[in-house]
Structure 1
Amino acid sequence: MTSTTTVEGYRPPQPDRSGLLARLADVWTEFEALLDEVPILRALADGDVTVADYQRLLHNLRQQVVDGSPWIARAASNFDMDHFDLRSAAIAHALEEHRDHLLLERDYVAVGGSLESLRAGRKNIGSQALSGYLFHEASRPNPVGCLGAMFVIEGLGAQKAGVWARRFQEVLGLADDQVHFMAYHQDADAEHTGTLDAILTSDRIDDAAADAIVSCARVVSRLYVMQLSELDEI
């Protein structure tokens, strides 16, 4: 697996007139390079992972995934009526995300994990930092910068999750119902990125908003790498 891998249905960011998508494309390139150095992802690419490694990854991801819908809903609640379209988009997104942790939990149990142990888990230090930052940004008035977080997280699902799912299957011989969480996000998040691109290239995004979006995307990409790198470190 390399950083140049593409997935059917995912449309990589293309430069737009304002330059915002070009700037976000640079953030994505940097993010991919950092992901390639994450120990568990490097082991996955090399074929050196175990079922225990996969369980460990799911266990750590779940503790932050449960916060996905709440921080998006928080952002929606802080858009005023002049940003009604962004509020509506965030509400719809939160609704789509709020059961994601259940998919992950089923995969975890399907590979021999304990649901009780999973639900009793704590966020690792990267997950704590990521969730804290997302809720902080979502609590701002008209938190348009959160679009940058969505760009990174939805892009990760659309472009990387399906690749990881197939690689775990190749290396570990897992069934489809053991990698459903990752495989599902390939298609679901590809659809989300199309909607997001339409917003990012609209007249709604001025220069100040673009700067906030890029800044948030850059921070979230770094914190997500920390989450994947600091597995079980609490």
Structure 2
Amino acid sequence: MTDTLASTETVTETLADRLAAVWEDFEARLARVPVLARLDDGTATIDDYRRLLFNLRQQVVDGSLWISRAASNFDIPHFELRAAAIKHAEEEHRDYLMIERDYVAVGGTLAELRAGRKNLGSEALSGYMFHYADQPNPVGLMGAMFIIEGLGARRAAAWAARYQELLGLADSQVHFMRYHEQADAAHTGDLEAILTSGIVDESAADEIVRCAEVVARLYALQLEELDN
């Protein structure tokens, strides 16, 4: 019993360190993305912000769909993960509507937004997520959530504040990003509770880290390939 407990604690601690390393690499990639680099150096334009919303919307529409698909592929021994996925999908399935309102509020139209398509990075990210969600007991998707929800919790509010500072935008024009600071912080808290609960073994930890690595790369690619 003591050896098993020690082994579980080691997996949990090692997983946290490995995910932290993935996040550090992800942050470095984001710093090199042109649209975010312009935001950082103060040269961002309203067109940058509209383009970012336009491209994010196409991927966000799919978010609750692949989460729901993942939920359907968890068996009874993974009931806790299935329940968490169902709850998460329910909470996020209207998120794209916030992007639509923000987009219109900064001069875009619903017609052009809804006629848009995923960019090259979004296609790759969405394809990977649906493929992985179709696997039996896709526990690795916790790695995807670590990246996606972590981005909202750690970066969204700062992006919103910076766009407001540079472009004079109102809170109602950056609602999607501001909302996700709190919503995704709650989601990351739920995720951390699962990751530290002792139910993640060494094999699952490897899957979680690998999925986090892939999603981090594809998410950065999505932001690099705006409009392509």
Which structure shows the higher helix fraction?
2
Residue in structure 1 matched with residue 199 of structure 2 by the alignment? 204
* 3-state secondary structure, aligned to 2:135: coil
Gaps of 5+ in 1: 1-14
**Does the 8 Å CA contact 2:70/2:138 hold for their aligned counterparts?**
yes
Amino acid at match of 1:225: A
* SS at 1:217 equivalent: helix
Q: Aligned AA for 1:74?
A: R
Task: Give 1:105's aligned residue.
Answer: 100
Structure 2 residue 187 is matched with structure 1 residue 192? yes
Deviations 1:48-86 (A, max 9, x none): 011111101100110000001000000000000111110
CA contact 1:16–1:22 (8 Å) conserved in 2 = no
Give the letter aligned to residue 92 of structure 2.
E
Paired residue for 2:173?
178
Q: Which residue is 1:28 aligned to?
A: 23
Q: Which residue of 2 aligns with 1:8?
A: none
| C-alpha separation in 1, matches of 2:143 and 2:211 | 5
Give the 4+ runs in structure 1 shifted more than 2 A: 15-18
Q: Which residue identity lines up with residue 115 of structure 1 in the other structure?
A: L
1:140 to 114, 135, 139: 135
Confirm or deny: 8 A CA contact 1:151 1:217 kept in the other structure. Answer: yes
- The whole-number CA distance in structure 2 between the counterparts of 1:35 and 1:207 is 29
CA RMSD of aligned residues (A): 1.0
Q: Deviations over 1:146-168 (max 9, x none)?
A: 00000000000000011000000
TM-score by length of 1: 0.92
- Structure with greater Cα Rg: 2
Question: Deviation of residue 204 (structure 1)?
Answer: 1.1
- Matched pairs, number: 219
Query: What TM-score does the superposition give when structure 2 sets the normalisation length?
Result: 0.95
Contact 1:44/1:168 (<8 A) preserved: yes
Aligned to 2:208: 213
In structure 2, the residue matched to 1:10 is none
Q: Matches of 1:52 and 1:113 in 2, distance apart? A: 10
Tell me the distance in 1 between the aligned counterparts of 2:170 and 2:11: 41
Instruction: For 1:109-124, list aligned pairs within 5 A.
Output: 109-124=104-119
Partner of 1:37: 32
1:153 to 148, 154, 163: 148
Q: Which runs of 5+ in 2 are unaligned?
A: 1-9
Going from structure 1 to structure 2, the CA distance change for 1:223 and 1:17 (only over 3 Å counts) comes to closer
User: Aligned-pair distance for 1:18?
Assistant: 3.8
Q: Distance in 1 between matches of 2:187 and 2:52?
A: 24
Contact 2:152 2:184 in 1 (8 A): yes
Q: Find the aligned partners of 1:34 and 1:161 in 2 and give their Cα distance.
A: 16
Counterparts of residues 16-95 of structure 1 (less than 5 Å): 17-95=12-90
